[in-house]
Amino acid sequence: MIDFRIRLRTPEALKAWVPKPIPQFERYIDFYKMRPRLTFQTPEETIEEMKKAGIKNAVLCSGSAEGNRFVLKMCKDYRDIFFGIAGAKLEKGVMNAYKELKRALKKGLLGFNFGGLLQNPPMAIDDKKLYPLYALCADCNVCVIIHSSLHYYTGAKLYLNHPFRIDNIAVDFPDLRIVMSHAGNGFGDLPLVIAHRHPNVYLEVSALRPKHLPQSYIIAMNKYLSQKFIFGSDYPLLPFSIVEEWKQYVKEENHEKFFNQNAMKALFG
């Protein structure tokens, strides 16, 4: 199995959470009962937890140049375990972000992770300033992972994250593999429509419990969108044991796609 979004529990990886979370993450600690999982542990200890849940590989997502260096090191040190996705901040301008992303992709990271509400200032996920970065990913044949779902940070407006903006990106970059992080949760059935409409748009379910999803999502992942849904935990938001809950909602005949094949297609085409 592949977990499409995790964080390690090293001091570097939990910098935005410990000892005090950044404003964007503050409400998540109580919502997800995270405190027992915000203690530090080694990568080996996290890998052992993954193995106990049946997870062989995991995707580490960066959000910055500093994060890229850490993710690259983890992917080098544990090359058979982790896939790395780059991040880039636009605070210092588009060209600076472009160069950072290009450098990270050249060194072996497999895509671009972007959250508009985490930028300073927050920005729309289809802002034209991002288009050179999306074009770079399309040219390099790598994926983009875009936060386009409910976010509990009220310091930025949620419309910046609206899944309709994914439609704009997918129309302008038809060959770009786009993963909607957290499956567009919070916006009704619209994310299902967008994933159904665009061949290269995927829905990754990290930080979600299946029992909280609309029935339309469960039907879609087992029927007409079985080739689009990707498992993720967003550990340590949720424990790796969330795997067992998903197994109860995803039909066994779709397990291979949900837990492995769709992730590989999103990452490698």
Taking a C-beta distance cutoff of 8 angstroms, is the pair 251, 219 a contact?
Answer: no
User: According to the model, what pLDDT value does residue 38 have?
Assistant: 97
User: What is the rounded (10 degree) CA torsion for 205, 136, 175, 208?
Assistant: 0
User: According to the model, what pLDDT value does residue 233 have?
Assistant: 98
Joined tokens for residue 241: 């044991």
pTM equals 0.97
User: According to the model, what pLDDT value does residue 239 have?
Assistant: 98
Task: Outline where DSSP puts E strands in the chain.
Answer: 2-6, 57-61, 82-85, 111-114, 143-147, 178-181, 201-204, 229-230
Average pLDDT score over residue span 120-146: 98
CA–CA separation, 150 vs 115, rounded Å?
Answer: 12
In the DSSP assignment, the letter for residue 152 is -
Closest CA to 207 of 178, 185, 179: 185
* Alpha-carbon torsion (159, 160, 162, 164), positive or negative: positive
What tens digit of pLDDT does each residue of 181-219 get? 999 999 999 999 999 999 999 999 999 999 999 999 999
What tens digit of pLDDT does each residue of 223-248 get? 999 999 999 999 999 999 999 999 99
Task: Supply the mean pLDDT for the chain.
Answer: 97
What tens digit of pLDDT does each residue of 92-108 get? 999 999 999 999 999 99
What tens digit of pLDDT does each residue of 42-91 get? 999 999 999 999 999 999 999 999 999 999 999 999 999 999 999 999 99
Q: Which secondary structure element, helix H or strand E, spans residue 161, and what is its range?
A: none
User: According to the model, what pLDDT value does residue 172 have?
Assistant: 98
User: According to the model, what pLDDT value does residue 183 have?
Assistant: 97
Please, what CATH class does the domain formed by 2-268 belong to?
alpha beta
DSSP string, 187-232: STTHHHHHHHH-TTEEEE-TT--GGGS-HHHHHHHHTTTTTTEE--
User: According to the model, what pLDDT value does residue 220 have?
Assistant: 98
Average pLDDT score over residue span 152-175: 96
CA–CA separation, 135 vs 144, rounded Å?
Answer: 10
User: According to the model, what pLDDT value does residue 222 have?
Assistant: 98
